[in-house]
């Protein structure tokens, strides 16, 4: 009776150990980045302590939401300082008007309600198209009225074509670097917009005036003195109640 030859060592099942190293979170050194943040997104710092982007669809939505908010914040930050910065050099409707007065300024070519209505219509159309493209990439690529391709690719949030007339980012490395610069500047601009609100609530003036006051007298016009004025009341009058800062008043505390 013939016997079966013993299996060779190479034919035996082998067990291999694969060791995966977790990606460090750049925003908090020493901590691990969530598994869904693998570094492929522009500006990925491993920041998602609540795991909001654990679902891939939610992650794609949040990524686009951050990108659009970043772009609007960059425009808003520039628009908040441009009228004061260039108002004395160039004349246009609204030149020299501070950002907190722009909503009530009546010197534009039409009234504020008309501007708001037009903005709702145009922004509603644009945001609806963007939402369609997010749900079905490439669905909103072709213009519905004219025979024109809006985007050269189906990349969501980065249409290129008419939105990139200078032809930047032709190579993959250059495009990745530009995406990183954009989201970093956008995050800084979002923080700046929050700072503009806080600064006006505390001082009642615009950012350039705050800067000029600080440069003129840095020891008495800074964040420490502003906070001390907001939280110190008149000890000589104990019946006087402290009032929190009120936006638009410029003074949210009793006079010393």
What share of the chain has pLDDT > 70, as a percent? 73
Rounded to an integer, what is the distance from CA 228 to the centroid of its chain?
30
Residue 191: what are its φ and ψ, rounded to 5°? -65, -35
The answer to whether 193 and 76 have CB atoms below 8 angstroms apart is yes
Q: Residue 191 has what pLDDT?
A: 96
Which pLDDT tens digit goes with each residue over 38-57?
A: 888 989 999 998 999 999 98
Q: Is the pTM here over 0.75, yes or no?
A: no
Alpha-carbon span 22 to 31, nearest angstrom: 9
Report, as ranges of residue numbers, the positions in the chain whose pLDDT lies below 70: 1-22, 140, 142-154, 160-162, 229-256
Alpha-carbon span 247 to 204, nearest angstrom: 8
* Per-residue b or e along 34-71, where b marks 16 or more CB atoms closer than 10 Å to that residue's CB: beebeeebbbbbbebeeeebeeeeebbbebbebbebbb
* HSE (side-chain half, CA atoms, 13 Å) at 201: 13
Q: Residue 215 has what pLDDT?
A: 94
Say what the alpha-carbon torsion angle 220, 221, 225, 226 is, to the nearest 10 degrees: 150
Q: Residue 195 has what pLDDT?
A: 92
Q: Residue 187 has what pLDDT?
A: 96
The answer to whether 34 and 48 have CB atoms below 8 angstroms apart is yes
Q: Residue 107 has what pLDDT?
A: 81
* HSE (side-chain half, CA atoms, 13 Å) at 1: 2
Residues in the chain: 256
Alpha-carbon span 2 to 238, nearest angstrom: 109
- In sequence order, what are the residues at sequence separation of 6 or more whose Cβ sits closer than 8 angstroms to the Cβ of residue 36? 48, 51, 53, 54, 56, 59
Alpha-carbon span 160 to 166, nearest angstrom: 10
Say what the alpha-carbon torsion angle 126, 129, 134, 140 is, to the nearest 10 degrees: -130
Q: How crowded is residue 97: how many other Cβ atoms within 10 Å of its Cβ? A: 17
């Amino acid at each position: 009776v013939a016997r079966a030859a013993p299996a060779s060592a190479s034919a035996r099942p082998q067990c291999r150990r694969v060791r995966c190293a977790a990606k460090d979170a750049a925003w908090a050194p020493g901590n691990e980045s969530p598994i869904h943040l693998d570094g492929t997104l522009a500006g990925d710092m491993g920041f998602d302590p609540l795991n909001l982007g654990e679902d891939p669809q939610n992650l794609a939505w949040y990524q686009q939401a951050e990108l659009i908010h970043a772009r609007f914040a960059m425009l808003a930050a520039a628009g908040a300082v441009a009228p004061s910065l260039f108002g004395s050099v160039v004349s246009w409707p609204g030149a020299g008007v501070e950002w907190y007065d722009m909503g009530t300024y009546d010197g534009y070519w039409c009234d504020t309600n008309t501007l708001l209505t037009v903005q709702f219509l145009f922004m509603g159309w644009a945001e609806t198209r963007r939402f369609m493209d997010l749900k079905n990439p490439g669905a909103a690529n072709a213009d519905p009225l004219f025979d024109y391709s809006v985007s050269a690719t189906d990349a969501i949030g980065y249409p290129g074509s008419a939105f990139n007339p200078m032809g930047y980012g032709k190579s993959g490395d250059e495009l990745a670097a530009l995406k990183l610069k954009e989201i970093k500047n956008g995050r800084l601009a979002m923080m700046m917009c929050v700072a503009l609100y806080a600064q006006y609530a505390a001082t009642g003036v615009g950012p350039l005036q705050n800067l000029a006051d600080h440069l003129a007298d840095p020891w008495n016009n800074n964040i420490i003195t502003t906070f001390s004025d907001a939280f110190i009341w008149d000890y000589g009058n104990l019946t006087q109640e402290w009032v929190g800062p009120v936006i638009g008043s410029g003074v949210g505390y009793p006079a010393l």
